[in-house]
Amino acid sequence: MAHSQSHSHGHEEIGHVVPESTFLKVLIALLVLTVITVLAAKVDMGKWNIVGALVIASIKASLVIAIFMHGKYENKIIWTYILIPFILLAIMIGGVFTDDPFRDHPQPFGAQAEQAAPAAPAAPAAAHH
């Protein structure tokens, strides 16, 4: 209470002031990470290309949220609000991938009907007879 009173009547700032030099360091880190992403994409690592790109992107996103968006200085309620959308995104992508690829449709979304034709009639044919 006394803390908030002094904020209301005093002349100091109500939020955390981050020095500009900190922002500059983060910007340089972000630019270096961007160059690393582009260079890493030139090397063919198969499946690991997208994993690496997403890991680097997530490091960059964490830096932006923690420093540029003042996340580092926020309380637990705001952190709950920050994390919930990412948790929901993970649940959605996880849910779709544990469902769709395991269904019996090797050629989904009506793509290449002629290719799907030899394989597809097997199951329905049995059901009809």
Partner 1 sequence: MSAVAHPIVDHNVPPGEPPHIHHMDTTTAYGAAKLGMWLFLGTEILLFAVMFCSFAIMRYYHLGEFHDASKHLNLWAGGFNTIVLLISSFTAAVAVTKAQKGDNAGVVKNFGFSLVCGLIFLCVKGYEYSEKARHGMFPFVWNSDFYHYKNFLGLYFCMSGLHALHVIIGMALLYWYGIRPAMRGRFSGKYYTPVELGALYWHLVDLIWIYLFPLLYLVG
Could you list the residues that contact partner 1 (CB under 8 A)? Answer: 4, 7-8, 11-15, 17-20, 23-24, 26-27, 30-31, 34, 37-38, 41, 49-50, 53-54, 56-57, 60-61, 64-65, 67-70, 74, 77-78, 81-82, 84-86, 88-89, 92-93, 96-97, 100-101, 108-109, 111
In the bound state with partner 1, the residue whose beta carbon lies nearer, of 79 and 121, is 79
One-letter amino acid for residue 81 of the chain: Y
In the bound state with partner 1, the residue whose beta carbon lies nearer, of 111 and 122, is 111
Least separation in angstroms between CB 3 and partner 1: 9
Burial of 26 (0-12, 13-18, 19+ CB in 10 A): middle
In the bound state with partner 1, the residue whose beta carbon lies nearer, of 27 and 117, is 27
Cβ atoms of 73 and 14 closer than 8 Å: no
Least separation in angstroms between CB 44 and partner 1: 10
The two structure tokens encoding residue 60: 């960059």
Burial of 44 (0-12, 13-18, 19+ CB in 10 A): exposed
The two structure tokens encoding residue 89: 């995104």
